[in-house]
Amino acid sequence: MGQHVVLNNLDHHDLRLITRHGAAFGDSVNQALVYPSEYQELQRQYPIFFRRTDDGFKSIVLLGFDREENLFLEGDRWNAPYVPAMHRVSPFLIGQPRAADGQDLPADAGAMILVDPDHARLSRTDGEALFLAQGGHSPALHEVTRTLEQVYRGAQASASMFAAFQETGLLAPVEIEVKIDDRQSYLLKDMLTISRDALHNLDGIPLRALNQAGFLELAFHVVSSMANLSRMITQKIDRAAATV
């Protein structure tokens, strides 16, 4: 990861965002980090899983089966209506302003957009301008801001969501064997999902609490997303057949 600095219209007045996709921009990966605020869109195209981290859990979507394989990547195009947020704003982060003594300022002090000027997705000559000629935010930067806000909302909700899923017994480990042909198969492991049985058996106070928190809908999105796995297997088989 490069060095992030505060984005501003003086130092970065001519910075441009490359919106196409490809291996050079970090898109040749078989998993993508995602957030609950994206589930509604993600569940239409990608299988959503969870992985344990040192301090809890994270959400991912499966993009391929081999290392550095993204079945949705075709040349410089991401072949899906919705691209995971982190693959649209990879050079940027949201930063919390700090006081001179290094302490975080109050939330109402406003967040800042941080940028890695050396990121491959940024250029001085190629792509969409981040700032207008008079210094205002361009449509591209407005879209970056909206996407970062979506990521921030999702990151803020993640810990509470996973705690609720654990408390209601919805988290379940999963291993999935994917068979492409007689010679090629994959074992997807070290992942978790939502237990369909546990979800359907929820009732009473746990069900109401999950619904009131907005997490019940997210759980159903995860369950619904599993249907995309069979489509990905078909994509993989078709690609393998095309190379024979």
| pLDDT digits 0-9 by tens, 125-170 | 999 999 999 989 999 999 999 999 999 999 999 999 999 999 999 9
| pLDDT digits 0-9 by tens, 170-213 | 999 999 998 888 888 999 999 999 999 999 999 999 999 999 99
Q: Residue type at 233?
A: I
- pTM assigned to the model: 0.90
| pLDDT digits 0-9 by tens, 92-123 | 998 865 544 555 544 444 678 999 999 999 99
**Cα four-point dihedral sign 220, 221, 224, 227:** negative
pLDDT, residue 30, reads: 97
